[in-house]
Amino acid sequence: MGRGEHILAAPEHPRFLTPAAAERYLGSMRWILLGLMALAFGCWGEDEEPPGELVGSFQALGLMVEQSCGAAVPAPDPLDLKFDLRSESNGRAYWRLWGGAMFAGLEQNDTYTFQTSQSWMVVEPDRFRGYVGCSVTQRDVFTFEVSVPEAVPDLDAGVEDDAGVEDESWVDPNLVLITGSQTTDIVPLTGADCTPAVAALGGPFLSLPCRVEYVLSGNGIGPE
């Protein structure tokens, strides 16, 4: 296996929702769902270049603006990210966390979007008690917008005539700005009974449906 592939095993579903068990389960599910965005073809050799052209390396800080899920979704504040963005001419985009996996998404007009949606069970049904169970859909979306300043000529480079101009323009990566957001939305499936999953009845969710949202901002950096 190459350096871009992570193999993640789903935790066992809690048969009965106790706060401690459900918090561990739901917390690990959050990162497993992020892992589902990882490229299925993200296995590449040590000497192979990742797919797409490098747009740049970035550092971004995420400030939490909403957290209505409670303990069910571990959410650090602030969120610290270092990553590379890559793209192809067909609009395919790639986001590689430094020291982590690569994720696939889309690019349009310098806006990069990476998302996944997955349904999973929080509380198993109990047919003896007539309980239908609680299943939810979790949707994670990362959006980045890159703003590149106008390139300035490299004064140390020679400039050829119009028949063969050698463009040596250069952009300081620290002047490349990046903004965006990260959202996690969790919504019960139609027909589900998620009452036991809410904190008022001992569950880990502060409320359902719920959302965790960050506002991201940062700048380009040199390669690691």
Q: What is the pLDDT of residue 51?
A: 85
Distance CA 166, CA 185 (A): 49
Tell me what pLDDT residue 200 has.
85
The Cα–Cα gap between 204 and 125 comes to 18
Dihedral of alpha carbons 60, 224, 173, 90, sign: negative
pLDDT of 171 above 70: no
In this structure, the number of other CB atoms found within 10 A of the CB of residue 1 comes to 8
| Cβ partners under 8 Å of residue 48, min gap 6 | 2
Rounded mean pLDDT of the chain? 77
- What does the pLDDT read at residue 164? 54
Q: Are 82 and 221 in contact (CB under 8 A)?
A: yes
- Measured between alpha carbons, how far is 201 from 149 in angstroms, rounded to an integer? 53
How far from 180 is each of 33, 71, 101, 201, 203, CA to CA, in Å? 20, 24, 20, 35, 32
Choose the weakest-confidence range: 63-77, 110-124, 170-184, 204-218. 170-184
Closest CA to 202 of 60, 23, 54: 23
Residue-wise pLDDT for 92-114, tens only, equals 999 988 887 788 999 999 999 99
**Amino acid symbol at 36:** L
pTM of the full predicted structure? Answer: 0.72
Spatial CB neighbours of 159, under 8 Å, sequence gap ≥ 6: 153, 165, 166, 168
